[in-house]
Structure 1
Amino acid sequence: MLLSAQIQLAHFILLRCVSKLQSIFADMLGTACSWMGWLFSPRTRAAGHPGARAALAERDSRAAQRTPTPSSVNYHLTRKCNYKCGFCFHTAKTSFVLPIEEAKRGLQLLKEAGMEKINFSGGEPFFHEGGEFLGKLVQYCKQDLQLPSVSIVSNGSMIKEGWFKKYGKYLDILAISCDSFDEDTNKLIGRTQGRKSHLDNLFKVHSWCRQYKVAFKINSVICSFNVEEDMRENIRQLNPVRWKVFQCLIIDGENAGESALRDAEKFVVDDEQFQAFLDRHAEIQCLVPESNLKMRDSYLILDEYMRFLDCRGGRKDPSKSILDVGVENAIQFSGFDEKMFLKRGGKYVWSKEDMKLDW
């Protein structure tokens, strides 16, 4: 009986101690909340209290360092290409392509981090394995990861109808790069291979996109060879969902500089020339202009090793691979300006189900 009474007494004392500690903690929490409310109140800020200023500065610093969400990612899965465009800023310095299971693992990591749209690019993304590698990734992203939008940027020269039959249903948008509707101009730029007509390929792929219900898009780089061209009639005829118009961009080590495989200096147009081109085509409703200022920091670019590329310094400085350090760690070194991404219209209706297109 004595032992039982002692146990009950000990249990009672323990309960009292826990209750007292809870009360003390509640008082401390209430005091802290009151202090924080005072610290960040408009009256305190207006008074310029040193403690408030320091706390606000720390809070703003933390907000500025917030990890951006990789909602839209451009994965340059290969550097190899069958074209030799003189202004290309992702040139073929290596033939490396990730094993497909590693590529899928990286895409899964990106989905978990908030990716909604993936854009496959190159080089020429259809170059590797005749487009089979690309097709499997497109299918994986739409079918397994269930991403709202899966897109590709291609020069169009290596696409076969069989690819559309097999993988077209998994693809939302196919963008074909076309800088001129004059075949001689395309040859001067380097957007050609042998005797094949780039424009014939463009119109053929356009018809396949319509047949297999893939949204068709055009990308054009405006340079010294095409800046005076009037493309309005052809753009109206093709009627893409978007016509992305880029100002020729210089990236040190890629298309300029001693270690570069290209010298794009002769292709460069200034802001005034670029704006004149935009003004000439202003009536085209699907036109989406992108100056160098908008383009440099507002894209999340993954290279063939799945490293984010920071273009802020006029180069493409790589982070560590997301496969090694994760997305959150690697994206801190991407130089990505999320505000500029939103300002330039980086988020739009990018799922073909939502476009309500008249096929």
Structure 2
Amino acid sequence: MQLPSFAQPLRISRKRVLWKLAKAALDKDRPVLVQIVVTRRCNLACGYCYEYDKVSKPVPLAELKARIDALRKLKAVFVTLNGGEPLLHPQIVELVRYIAEAGMIPMINTNGHVLKAPLIRSLNEAGLFGMQLSCDSLEDNEVTEKSMRRLQPKLELLREHARFIVRVNGVLGSGNPEEMEAVANIVVGYGYIFQCSLMRDSSGQALPLSDEALQAYLRIRALKGRLPRLLNDNFQLPLARGENKKWKCRAGARHFEVDGAGLVHLCQPKTGAPAKPLAEYSVEDIRCQFQCSKACADRCPIAYAHLGSRLDGFRRQQHA
């Protein structure tokens, strides 16, 4: 039976994604990756996380659609729905569809614990391009509830039903390094992408790894099929060793975060700057932030910041 027109799957091919990235490479006024907070409410309480609460209501659908419209005018490429736990938003599928219909590429960051087959199929039909899940350990511990014991049944569901890219991220330092290595092997065994992130201090700067954790990280990096070349995490190697990484961060331009109130921030750790309403954020703001070097860049472990800035490593930054 043919689906009604409003339910037709919105497939986004990888060729189309590469074409959009190629166009963005030529136009430095376009954001590459924007994260939108759709709710601060979360169903977990991980010890290292301060991006959630237990009481917030979801951001109203009309407000989120207005923000997506603003990003369309800025010609953003990827739009990632964030939380809290974004799958707790009651209109999450409609938001994914709205992003896809606006010509942008919808993504979701989630712990995945509320995933069920009907929701996965609905996200397929809505045009979701990719989902990043979180898993830090084999079992829950005093720091994290993002365990493989909880996640593995969801990976089975995704393997059966998902038609979008699945990527799993683990924070190395939130548990036993050997457990993280075991998690990575399980994820890669499913054929999914695995990204290993570093713990951050209260200012958002990378914490160096212990000798044991560093060796585990190097073994994880050696896993075949862990990451495609375009998404490599080579920037983390000096940070993991306690060294600095020199690069040109384009926060506020190529990538930024929009909080639940609709304010633009350079990234999650740098909430408060520039804190300008997205509805007022313009190409002039993007150009200003593009040229600004960031004092926090040398020890920055934020993967999406590095990925969003890769198109412009050869371009100058003029001032701090």
Report the TM range for the smaller structure's normalisation: 0.5 to 0.7
Match of 1:124 in 2: 85
Give the distance between the partners of 2:42 and 2:207, measured in 1 at CA: 24
**Are the counterparts in 1 of residues 168 and 195 from structure 2 also a CA contact under 8 Å?**
yes
Q: Does 1:134 align with 2:72?
A: no
Task: Choose between structure 1 and 2: higher helix proportion.
Answer: 1
Q: 8 Å contact 1:302–1:309 — kept in the other structure?
A: yes
For 1:286, the equivalent position in structure 2 comes to 226
Q: 1:247 aligns with which of 188, 192, 198?
A: 198
Q: CA deviation at 1:250?
A: 2.7
CA contact (8 A) 1:67 1:328 kept: no
Secondary structure at 2:114 match in 1: coil
Offset at residue 311 of structure 1 (A): 5.1
Q: Per the alignment, in what secondary structure is the counterpart of residue 79 of structure 2?
A: strand
| Residue matched to 2:3 | none
Query: Which consecutive residues of structure 2, in runs of 5 or more, have no partner in the other structure?
Result: 1-26, 311-320
Q: Report how many aligned residue pairs link the two structures.
A: 254
Secondary structure of 1:204 counterpart:
helix
Using a 3 Å threshold, how does the CA distance of structure 1 residues 208 and 281 change in structure 2: closer, same or farther?
A: closer
Q: Normalising by structure 1, what TM-score? A: 0.60
1: CA distance, partners of 2:96 / 2:162 = 15
Deviation at 1:188, TM superposition (A): 2.5
Q: Distance in 2 between matches of 1:166 and 1:136?
A: 9
Q: Distance in 2 between matches of 1:343 and 1:215?
A: 20
User: What's the counterpart of residue 304 of structure 1?
Assistant: 260
Kindly provide the amino acid, as one letter, of the partner of residue 202 in structure 1.
Q
Q: 1:115 to 1:179 in 2, by over 3 A?
A: same
Which whole-Å CA distance do the structure 1 matches of 2:116 and 2:189 have between them?
22
Query: Is the alpha carbon distance of 1:306 and 1:250 closer, same or farther for their aligned partners in structure 2, counting shifts above 3 Å?
Result: farther
Matched, 1:191 2:145: yes
CA distance in 2, matches of 1:150, 1:336: 28
Change (3 A) 1:177 1:224: closer
1:91 to 2:52 alignment:
yes
248, 261, 278: which is aligned to 1:322?
278
Residue equivalent to 2:153 = 203
Q: Deviations over 1:29-64 (max 9, x none)?
A: xxxxxxxxxxxxxxxxxxxxxxxxxxxxxxxxxxxx
| Counterparts in 2 of 1:270 and 1:212: CA distance versus 1, 3 Å | closer
Distance 1:173 1:159 in 2: 14
Structural RMSD (CA): 3.7
**Which residue among 213, 216, 234 is the counterpart of 2:163?**
213
